Structure 1
Amino acid sequence: MKTIKLIPYDEDPVLDTNTLMAALGITKKEANDILWDLFEKEYIDLIPVLDEEKLNLLKPRD
C-alpha cells in the first residue's frame, strides 16, 4: 500500500517574505515583489492586526 505525507495543519498561517521563500524556493526580492503585488491589488493588508488578548497581557496592572 502506498503511503502519503500529510500536509501539516497550521491554525494561523503566516504569509510573509520568509514563508514565501521557503514554500516557493524563490529569492527575497521575488517574495517581496509578490507581497507588494498582493497589497496593491488589495488582497492583503501589510499592516498587522493587534491581538487584543496579547495586548492586554502587556498592559501594566494597577
Structure 2
Amino acid sequence: METKMIPFDEGPVLDTNTLMAALGISRKDANDILWNLFEKEYIDLIPVLDEEKLNLLKPKE
C-alpha cells in the first residue's frame, strides 16, 4: 500500500503578482490596491518572517 502526503496549502496569497495575474492589471495598479487596503487597515503589509530562513542569516557562534 502506497501512502501519499496531503498537500499543504496556506490558502490564497494576496500580493502584487497574484493581483496582476488574477485581474490582468499593471504592477502600479496592483500596488495601489494593496496600499489602499493597508491604509484602510484591511490587510497588514508586513510579511511573516520565515524562521528557518532567518536562522540562516544569524551569525554562527
TM-score, normalisation: structure 1: 0.63
Count the aligned residue pairs: 54
Matches for 1:1-62 after TM superposition, within 5 Å? 10-52=9-51, 55=54
TM-score, normalisation: structure 2: 0.64
Q: Which runs of 4+ in 1 moved over 3 A?
A: 51-60
Give me the CA root mean square deviation. Answer: 2.1
SS in 2 for 1:21: helix
Point out where structure 2 has 5 or more consecutive residues left out of the alignment. 1-8
Render the CA deviation track for 1:3-59: whole Å, top value 9, x for unaligned. xxxxxxx43321110000000010111000000000000000110122456656876
SS in 2 for 1:13: coil
Amino acid aligned to 2:20: M
Point out where structure 1 has 5 or more consecutive residues left out of the alignment. 1-9
Give aligned-pair identity as a percent.
88
**2-side partners of 1:21 and 1:31: how far apart?**
6
